[in-house]
Structure 1
């Protein structure tokens, strides 16, 4: 196994010889993980080897290195494509390089060394800070370690003891080696096997992207088609579908082969997909239209599983100039299937198996008018709504869909909430506690108890401020008194909200939410 000094990693990227193939996912690490990596490098802890595929032939499609657009390579240089270790290499390059301007957020590169923290084996001395908030008498910007002028300016105000400490830290990074394992071959089948094995514990579609990039690139620029589709969906808030290559490839395989396994993708060729791409496109548009009209979904972020679009795209996939006319029975089946899939967490495990079954049943539903699509076992009970609220989790997104389905009202004015604008700007600020945090903290409730799903509702920051951090029995007087019964009904909230008994309220509301969910799944 070889090792690359950090300076050489930076030079390889700047020369264009170290590159990211299109079948890799993008950079996803946050600043805390980057800081943790820096601590591991500093302490000499193992952090895993990067695997590079060295080849003479450049791929037709590539990906940026995080927010950095890679320069063209020098013709005489071989290319090293990153098969594994993209997050680590991007982190190292982003923190220490100073030459390539960024095209996106680089806040994760602001890593500092805590000069006053004690040295121990467990705790990290590297922290992520906003540069405007960093006390430079305590925190040293490590991004200057490979920048002579920047390092000189950053160290000149330090006392002798801190300057000596930082010199030793810099020396550690200058001597550090990034472990590298090379695969030198122009045989793409061999690289495909390596990549599959490296990613075996990951998401199946890593392999999809690899194979599609090679199988279709010569006669069908699939990425351009996806980009055009994203533009078409932009007015409806779903342009991010065009960026989700995993999802789109699954839709292609589902429509063309009724099978989303890697083997099904390999068996397709560019001409086959090209000839039927209008069906794929219509299927995806029909799926999104169905979700928007029946579930108040305004963006891909609103869906508990983006995977829901795949079987729906099969149902709505028809050729150019055609459309699918839904019968009442078909619509009810599709709606019930979506709710059952969400509440059963259907696509959290066994994804390909469950997708292939649902794809087959969606096709039957369209051609025969009935199928077993919605026959999914699901059990909903009160503990579901004791999960913690987080806008990125499956349970929270399902909970939000449930609330949206009831067409909630403002807790102050009693007027309808504009779900379109709220859900397009999907974030934590659009939801607040029914029993305010300030009130519950005075009663010595801990955060996990306060932040249960059952204690949340659609509520703007302005409404939340108006009601204040007081007991519900008090803030009731700040609500439209005439509208209160309707507000509670449309937020699936019991009248016991105003009894100021938090545990009794949680029990009552959880049961109301369970009852509402059971009506939707048809049980």
Structure 2
């Protein structure tokens, strides 16, 4: 007896397979990864087919579910079949099928296209012609059409190797047309049942994300989650927040629709009608614009890449959706909340239940039911000050923001440090070890202490290079002459007090690091409102 999900194998010639794509009988679901093959991979596949080597089967999912799908596979436009379901969605074989469709149906517009492939009839190999036109270069997009094939053969009609070229062109045509591929079809399964199958057979091991599944599950002629996410990102590009995580955008679409931001909440979107999804998306976009404006004007965050935790923006977007015009007190409390969650590593690990409770409290604050967001997690300020500095680490990003918030001035000349340059991307050239690493290694200092947050400051690139590995006692002794009566005010912008300054003059790292860590902790507590 055959069970409902029993795979059904079918053997299809390449020409039949490509035709199924062209007519829309086979579609590429939008949860598939992009086309990633390189030119060498493409040529290798075509060579395997020409030599009748096996290239593996493809896996299709035959379903009545109407999912978001790509409008092209390779360079081939896919016909819409709105009334003809069930449809075959391609689960495995995208790179191979895209190669065949792209090469055989290249439109000829761009000579540099990766689909501009010819078969060298002289050497019997697939090549990229690179603009060269030779009689024995047979373009693959001239292969399947009868008149195109005849017209191409006429180009070597009077060539001395005519017989060889005709024979090889005929063999190429028959091989491509008659090569058979096993197409295995599964059916009568929901998208949630299909997801683990896709994950298992996917050659990269890429797991389907919430966004992948919901993109497919919520698609309609009126609503496309992918377009919505891109629209939100585009609206934030002028603030350098176009890289905001698509997962966080999905969370906020869910919250703007009236539910939560956890996976089980997001799953409820599949039951929403398109008009509700569109309304939620519009609210989400407006809330993102307000949240990012707040982040970039009232906090020293110059780009999404320097946000310590992506969930911070998810919470702020939810707040601005509920309260688009917060008063001064609320804005001040939001800033304290930002520093507390960043320094306290609130979103480094979390569970769904706690996240729901925190979001509920945050909404109460937005609705004016609380005078401040609840924050019960203890903050380890000393651990923050002595943490190991590493680019892209959340706590180190937070340190960069803490230092940037002081509007630092370069130690050697007192000019303002270009904060936008330092924080718009994670830029190692704008960070400086006050006690140089090479000097501390010679002194036998432990690596963890060398890279301590308390040994890091922000400098312009030129100053950083000038100081390089110079001993602190040497370049600090020049600061009085260079900065004059501005010395103290410049040092304060780097959270360096008199004790730390004098310790640097003595190359006394132990005293310096103890004193500066105290200033960092003091500033961190001030920012947190503690």
Q: TM-score range by the shorter chain?
A: 0.5 to 0.7
Quote the residue 1:498 is aligned against: 505
What pairs up with 1:40-55 in 2 under 5 angstroms? 54-55=60-61
Deviation (angstroms), 1:20: 7.6
What pairs up with 1:387-466 in 2 under 5 angstroms? 387-445=387-445, 447-466=447-466
Deviations 1:286-333 (A, max 9, x none): 111111122111111110111111121121116xxxx83222221122
Quote the residue 1:377 is aligned against: 377
| In structure 1, C-alpha distance between the alignment counterparts of 2:185 and 2:197, rounded to whole Å | 11
Q: Which of 51, 62, 81 does residue 91 from structure 2 map onto?
A: 81
Instruction: Return the TM-score normalized by structure 1.
Output: 0.65
Quote the residue 2:310 is aligned against: 306
Provide the aligned C-alpha RMSD in A. 4.5
Quote the residue 1:519 is aligned against: 526
Deviation (angstroms), 1:358: 3.0
Quote the residue 2:356 is aligned against: 356
| In structure 1, C-alpha distance between the alignment counterparts of 2:487 and 2:26, rounded to whole Å | 62
Deviation (angstroms), 1:490: 1.0
Q: What SS does the aligned partner of 2:353 have?
A: helix
1:403 touches 1:457 (CA, 8 Å); kept in 2?
A: yes
Deviations 1:5-54 (A, max 9, x none): xxxxxxx99x99999854467799xxxxxxxxxxxxxxxxxxxxx99863
Deviation (angstroms), 1:485: 1.6
| In structure 2, C-alpha distance between the alignment counterparts of 1:381 and 1:324, rounded to whole Å | 32
Quote the residue 1:261 is aligned against: 262
What pairs up with 1:42-191 in 2 under 5 angstroms? 54-56=60-62, 59-61=67-69, 70=74, 72=76, 80-81=90-91, 184-185=186-187, 187-191=189-193
May I ask how many residue pairs the two structures share in their alignment? 403
Q: Please say which structure displays the higher CA radius of gyration.
A: 2
Deviation (angstroms), 1:454: 1.7
| In structure 1, C-alpha distance between the alignment counterparts of 2:493 and 2:346, rounded to whole Å | 27
Deviations 1:208-266 (A, max 9, x none): 4303422234430222232222222111111222xx32111011112222411223223
Quote the residue 1:158 is aligned against: none
Closer, same or farther in 2 for the Cα pair 1:183/1:521, shift >3 Å? farther
Closer, same or farther in 2 for the Cα pair 1:183/1:407, shift >3 Å? farther
Deviation (angstroms), 1:334: 1.2
Deviation (angstroms), 1:275: 2.0
Q: What SS does the aligned partner of 1:392 have?
A: coil
Task: Could you tell me which runs of 5 or more consecutive residues in structure 2 were left unpaired when the two chains were aligned.
Answer: 1-6, 8-16, 37-55, 80-86, 107-124, 129-183
Closer, same or farther in 2 for the Cα pair 1:369/1:407, shift >3 Å? farther
Closer, same or farther in 2 for the Cα pair 1:371/1:26, shift >3 Å? farther
| In structure 2, C-alpha distance between the alignment counterparts of 1:412 and 1:309, rounded to whole Å | 36
Q: Which of 512, 515, 519 does residue 508 from structure 1 map onto?
A: 515
Deviations 1:402-439 (A, max 9, x none): 11111111122112222123211332122121111222
Quote the residue 2:231 is aligned against: 228
Q: What SS does the aligned partner of 1:54 have?
A: strand
1:340 touches 1:376 (CA, 8 Å); kept in 2?
A: no
Q: What SS does the aligned partner of 2:388 have?
A: coil
Instruction: Return the TM-score normalized by structure 2.
Output: 0.64
Deviation (angstroms), 1:460: 2.6
| In structure 2, C-alpha distance between the alignment counterparts of 1:63 and 1:376, rounded to whole Å | 50
| In structure 2, C-alpha distance between the alignment counterparts of 1:23 and 1:337, rounded to whole Å | 36
| In structure 1, C-alpha distance between the alignment counterparts of 2:263 and 2:445, rounded to whole Å | 49
Q: What SS does the aligned partner of 1:432 have?
A: strand
Quote the residue 1:276 is aligned against: 280
Deviation (angstroms), 1:285: 1.0
